[in-house]
Amino acid sequence: MKYAFVTGGSRGIGKAVSLKLAAKGYNILLNYRSNDVEGEKTKAEIESLGVVCELLKFDVADKNSVDEILLGWIENNKEKTIEVLVNNAGIRDDNLLMWMTDSQWKNVLSTNLDSFYYITRHVVAQMLAKRYGRIINMVSLSGLKGMAGQTNYSAAKAGLIGATKALAQEIAKRGVTVNAVAPGFIVTEMTEGLDEKTLSAMVPMKRFGTAEEVAEAVAFFASPGASYITGEVLNINGGLYS
């Protein structure tokens, strides 16, 4: 009973990743925060591929919820193994730093960065014991380049890149890899408020990417074929930045 655990998996990139990993034969442990309708809809789509999908509803930024629900699932499902972890859940709340509120800073940092710590520490122990695992963190162009109006988001994603590289070194000898995927402009709900026409002109490929294109990269990092790659950040941005 091998599982892939995807946070923020009911919509957007997380949903595409969940479906791609399900198509590769993984049972899916799917986390979402609040939208039960989308959670159940995605679960049905995943299970139509012939695998099991279990839903874990909790806020990844809430340490107590993570400890109670995720750790509870691990302890009550000893016969099941989380072989792939995709730390995908994230939020944006853009503002210029001079006008940014404490809550905008703290909420974005907590959801995008603290959640990596809260979740990964529970999952990695099982991977180390099995001497096999794949951890893929969803970062961003913003964490590499920095984006005006996204000081909070850029800081969180840059921090996650650093954590990716550090953890990769800690656990490589036990056969567990840690990599990151850094999307640029991708068509999802998170980019709905952006001027796609204007921003696409900045991209060498002259278009936004798709969630499915990001999912392909995640699936590669999750595969046995990526066994000698760790601590890497793969840019998926149509040539905008490398």
Residues noted as catalytic: 153
Task: List Cα–Cα distances, 105 to 64, 94, 110, 139, in angstroms.
Answer: 21, 9, 9, 17
What does DSSP say about strands 176-183 and 233-236: parallel, antiparallel, or unpaired? parallel
How far apart are alpha carbons 42 and 96 in whole angstroms? 35
HEC string for the chain: CEEEEECCCCCHHHHHHHHHHHHCCCEEEEEECCCHHHHHHHHHHHHCCCCCEEEEECCCCCHHHHHHHHHHHHHHCCCCEEEEEEECCCCCCCECHHHCCHHHHHHHHHHHHHHHHHHHHHHHHHHHHHCCEEEEEECCHHHHHCCCCEHHHHHHHHHHHHHHHHHHHHHHHHCEEEEEEEECCECCHHHCCCCHHHHHCCCCCCCCECHHHHHHHHHHHHCHHHCCCCCCEEEECCCCCC
Residue type, 35: N
